[in-house]
Amino acid sequence: MLDSNSPNKKPLIYYCVIAVALILLFNALIFPAMIRGSVKQIAYSEFLSMVDAGRVKEVSLSEDGDQIAFLATDEEGNDAVYTTVVFPDDGLTNRLESAGVTFSSQISKQNSPLINFIFSWVLPIGIFMLLGRFLMRGLEKRGMPGNAMSFGKANAKIYAESETGVTFDNVAGEEEAKEALVEIVDFLHSPEKYAAIGAKLPKGALLVGPPGTGKTLLAKAVAGEAHVPFFSISGSEFVEMFVGMGAAKVRDLFKQANEKAPCIVFIDEIDTIGKKRDAGSGLGGNDEREQTLNQLLTEMDGFDGKKGVVILAATNRPESLDPALLRPGRFDRRIPVQLPDLAGRVAILKVHAREVRMAPGVDFEAVARATSGASGAELANIINEAALRAVRLGRDTVEQGDLEESVETVIAGYQRKNAVMSQRERQIVSYHEIGHALVAAKQQNSAPVAKITIIPRTSGALGYTMQVDQDEHFLMDQEEMANKIATLTGGQAAEKLVFGRITTGASNDIEQATKLARGMVARYGMSDEFGMVALETVNNQYLGGDTSLICAQATAEKIDQQVVRIVKEAREKADRILRENEPKLHELAKFLLEKETITGQEFMDILNR
**Whole-angstrom distance between the N-terminal and C-terminal Cα of the chain?**
46
Which of ligand ADP, Zn ion, none has residue 202 at its interface (CB below 5 to 8 Å by kind)? none
Q: Which is nearer to Zn ion, 58 or 509 (CB)?
A: 509
Q: Which is nearer to ligand ADP, 213 or 492 (CB)?
A: 213
The span from the CA of 571 to the CA of 485, in Å, is 8
DSSP state of 66: S
Count of CB atoms within 10 A of residue 584's CB?
Answer: 18
Q: Quick one: which of 491, 529, 494, 546 has its CA closest to 513?
A: 491
Q: Considering beta carbons, is residue 215 or 249 the nearer one to ligand ADP?
A: 215
Work out what residue 341 binds among Zn ion, ligand ADP, none; the CB cut-off runs from 5 to 8 Å by kind.
none
Q: If contact means CB under 5 to 8 A according to the sort of partner, which of Zn ion, ligand ADP, none does residue 351 touch?
A: ligand ADP
Q: Which is nearer to ligand ADP, 219 or 434 (CB)?
A: 219
Strand runs (DSSP E) across 436-541, as ranges?
Answer: 449-453, 464-467, 536-538
The packing angle between helices 600-607 and 582-595, to 10°, is 150
| Residue with smaller CB distance to ligand ADP, 82 or 168 | 168
Instruction: Judge contact between 330 and 300, C-beta under 8 A.
Output: yes
Identify which of residues 385 and 509 has a Cβ nearer to Zn ion in the complex. 509
Residue 328 CA to residue 313 CA, distance in Å, equals 15
Tally helices (H) and strands (E) across the chain.
Answer: 24, 16
Which residues of the chain form contacts with ligand ADP (CB under 6 A)? 1-2, 171-174, 211-217, 314, 348, 351, 376-377, 380
Least separation in angstroms between CB 432 and Zn ion: 5
Q: Which of Zn ion, ligand ADP, none does 274 bind, CB closer than 5 to 8 A by kind?
A: none
Q: In whole angstroms, how close is the CB of 592 to Zn ion at the nearest point?
A: 13
Strand partners, 467: 449
Shortest gap between Cβ of 464 and Zn ion (angstroms)? 8
> Pairing state of beta strands 230-234 and 263-268?
parallel
- Residue number, 212 or 262, with CB nearest to ligand ADP: 212
Task: Give the Cα separation of 296 and 308 in Å (integer).
Answer: 17
DSSP string, 200-211: ---SEEEEE--T
The partner in contact with residue 376, picked from ligand ADP, Zn ion, none with C-beta cut-offs of 5 to 8 angstroms by kind, is ligand ADP
Partner from ligand ADP, Zn ion, none contacting 491, C-beta within 5 to 8 A by type? Zn ion
Decide: residue 69, CB within 10 A, 0-12 exposed, 13-18 middle, 19+ buried. middle
8 Å CB contact between 154 and 233: yes
Interaction partner, residue 348 (ligand ADP, Zn ion, none; CB < 5-8 Å by kind): ligand ADP
Q: Which does 509 bind (CB under 5 to 8 A by kind): Zn ion, ligand ADP, none?
A: Zn ion
What is the nearest approach in angstroms of ligand ADP to the Cβ of residue 400?
A: 21
> How many residues belong to the chain?
609
Choose among 245, 82, 73, 228: nearest CA to 155.
245
Query: Of these partners, ligand ADP, Zn ion, none, which one is at the site of residue 314 (CB under 5 to 8 Å by kind)?
Result: ligand ADP
Find out whether 472 and 409 touch, Cβ atoms under 8 Å.
no
Least distance to ligand ADP, CB of residue 364, Å: 13
Q: Which residue is nearest to ligand ADP (CB)?
A: 376
Q: How far is the CB of 331 from ligand ADP (least distance, A)?
A: 16
Positions touching Zn ion (CB under 5 A) are: 491, 509
CA distance 304 to 567: 51
The strand order across the sheet containing 79-85 reads 40-41, 79-85, 67-73, 56-61, 102-104
Least spacing, CB of residue 328 vs Zn ion, in Å: 33
The closest of 38, 32, 39, 31 to 82, measured between CA atoms, is 39
Q: Which is nearer to Zn ion, 269 or 509 (CB)?
A: 509
* Residue 386: contacted member of ligand ADP, Zn ion, none (CB under 5 to 8 Å, by partner type): none
Contact 203, 300 (CB under 8 A): yes
CB neighbours of residue 506 within 10 Å: 21
| Closest CA relative to residue 231, chosen from 245, 246, 250, 247 | 250
3-state helix, strand, coil in the chain (%, to 5): 55, 15, 35
User: Minimal distance in Å, beta carbon 264 to ligand ADP?
Assistant: 14
Active site positions, annotated: 433
Nearer to ligand ADP, 164 or 216 (CB): 216
Give 499-512 as a DSSP string: HSS--GGGHHHHHH
Least Cβ distance, residue 305 to Zn ion (angstroms): 41
Residue 231 contacts residue 157 (beta carbons within 8 Å):
yes
Contact (Cβ atoms closer than 8 angstroms) between residue 288 and residue 244: yes
Between 176 and 477, CB nearer to ligand ADP:
176
In the complex, what is the shortest distance from the CB of residue 395 to ligand ADP, in angstroms, rounded to a whole number? Answer: 23
